[in-house]
Amino acid sequence: MTDLDPTALKTRLDQPNPPILLDVRERWEYDRAKLPDAVLIPLAQLEENVGTLDPEAEYVVYCHHGGRSASASQFLRSQGFGNVANLEGGIDAWSLKVDASVARY
């Protein structure tokens, strides 16, 4: 599995053709703090919604600290998604290393 550091993700997001951000947290977490333009599919709903995602697209999956998103990334790879990375440290690390305006919880 590929892990992507928050600062490396920031660089990728600032370039043309950024990856799709896939948030696998719960709705209440998403409502509290999120990355711009992220798609929310809670981990418990990912299997039933995988058909709504493009297996050819580039994804960066994130959660609170990186555990759920690591599981989601592995699942997506097992379903034929070839370009999936896990945001190392999750949205909490993003807040600490990239954008302090994103709420920590």
Tell me the C-alpha distance between 29 and 42, whole Å: 10
Q: How far apart are CA 70 and CA 63, in angstroms?
A: 9
Of these residues, 4, 24, 41, 63, which one is catalytic? 63
User: Residue 56 and residue 94: Cα distance in Å, rounded?
Assistant: 26
**Cβ contact 64:25 at 8 Å:** yes
Identify whether the C-beta of residue 62 lies closer than 8 Å to the C-beta of residue 97.
no
Choose among 35, 83, 77: nearest CA to 59.
83
The yes-or-no answer on residue 28 being catalytic is no
Catalytic residues: 63
